[in-house]
Structure 1
């Protein structure tokens, strides 16, 4: 019997991990100036680079004016990943950025932080005046959280307390009771807790409306039947109780129906 002397496969090298792939599998966000999603995008990217030991390429400048070929290969790959995770318009704007991956990374960060104070003021005003309107609670709270994330991207974080205040201030009269409860809570609940409370209240209100509609629909038909039956009984009763005159012939003892006669009839 021949022994199998085939050696086991070698462990994967760092280069095996760097075979080009679609970056959207690792960074599921397209960086977009209009969406102000730099913080979310950069967080995903840093996590991905950290998982393969290349985070230093966007955090530190090259340690040497003539970096080794291996470092250059990794850096070019990261630049390709960065460009592949941008929306089309932003990609065209920065694709010719000179330098290494760190230069491209810094260029993008600068684009998102230009005029950030003016944009932060606009977002803050919009957040303070938000109203629920025709939105559901989930849509409403998601919009508030999204606006808060945009402000955070611009360096103006919104506290949990203010998020709750903005949320309850924008609700309408349907939620008056639960708004009073939240406002008088000491301390105020977190935004997620307030959101869950409002979702439950919305569910309760919708269930009450549904039950009311079902009750009104099911009770309307018997009402018509009773009304119809009452009218019918009234007509019958009216005909039955109608006064009738006694037969004159019977009073004289001359009616051909004899003792069976009681009322006027044809002879």
Structure 2
């Protein structure tokens, strides 16, 4: 028997109410889209996943068409999704998007995709050129290979890949002179090692070279002879003076 005093369950939230409940979109889409970072792939991954969770993915991918005319709920939901896009852009890109004034979330999404496609080729050529001439200089092995990893990640975000052997070759060519012997060994290895293996080899060589650095003994420091030189003339002068005093 049902208890008549049991309160009815609360009504389910509408789609728009669920969307309004999102107070901080940047905590759900942690990647700020930026042309300089070339992080479109990462940003779109987070953004699409968030839209899918709220069942509004169709507002950006055009998978379903709107009703004709669109309902008030659809228009409101589309406006919220468009605001999510703007809030997850870098300040520079946001200003650029405001000037285009897209009419819908789908229009905003397509505009961003076009911007990054146009920028893609230029960035890809520049990054590949940077990798070809990369030099270790005074960097530590960790800093040097982290720089290479960063370039590879940016190229991946741009949808571009490079042959692994080419990447290793560029990394070897850019090593400092003290690794010249090791570079020759790596270059003639068969099979050719991957970048992670080369990184380990260079790091190990760095540790070996450091362990071979001479440690100066305190008895051979430059201060010791200076002390002797400073005291010798004084003692000599004192002895001579004493002899002169004993002379009649």
TM-score (norm 2): 0.71
Deviates more, 1:143-152 or 1:81-90: 143-152
The equivalent residue for 1:138 is: 142
Residue 106 of structure 1 and its aligned partner are, at CA, apart by 1.2
1:38 aligned to which of 32, 37, 40:
40
- Classify 1:116/1:218 alpha carbon distance in 2 versus 1 (closer, same or farther; 3 Å): same
The equivalent residue for 1:255 is: none
Return the structure number with greater relative CO, CA threshold 8 A, min gap 6: 2
Counterpart check, 1:70 vs 2:62 = no
Q: How many angstroms apart in 2 are the aligned matches of 1:156 and 1:182?
A: 26
- Classify 1:165/1:74 alpha carbon distance in 2 versus 1 (closer, same or farther; 3 Å): farther
- Classify 1:63/1:183 alpha carbon distance in 2 versus 1 (closer, same or farther; 3 Å): same
How many residue pairs end up in the alignment?
222
Structure 2 residue runs without a partner (length 5+): 233-248
Native 8 Å contact 2:58 2:64 kept in 1: no
The equivalent residue for 2:52 is: 50
Q: How many angstroms apart in 2 are the aligned matches of 1:53 and 1:186?
A: 52
Q: Deviations over 1:88-129 (max 9, x none)?
A: 121011024322212111111111121543443232222111
The equivalent residue for 1:167 is: 171
Native 8 Å contact 1:98 1:104 kept in 2: yes
Q: How many angstroms apart in 1 are the aligned matches of 2:176 and 2:209?
A: 13
Q: Deviations over 1:186-216 (max 9, x none)?
A: 333333343344334334444544xx3xx21
- Classify 1:158/1:18 alpha carbon distance in 2 versus 1 (closer, same or farther; 3 Å): farther
Structure 1 residue runs without a partner (length 5+): 233-267
Bigger-Rg structure (1/2): 1
What pairs with 1:245-260 in structure 2 (closer than 5 Å)? none
Q: How many angstroms apart in 2 are the aligned matches of 1:72 and 1:187?
A: 59
What pairs with 1:1-267 in structure 2 (closer than 5 Å)? 15-16=17-18, 19-60=21-62, 62-64=64-66, 65-95=68-98, 96-114=100-118, 116-209=120-213, 212=214, 215-218=215-218, 220=220, 224=224
Q: Alpha carbon RMSD of aligned pairs, Å? A: 3.6
Q: Deviations over 1:142-189 (max 9, x none)?
A: 222222333334443223332222212211122234333432333333
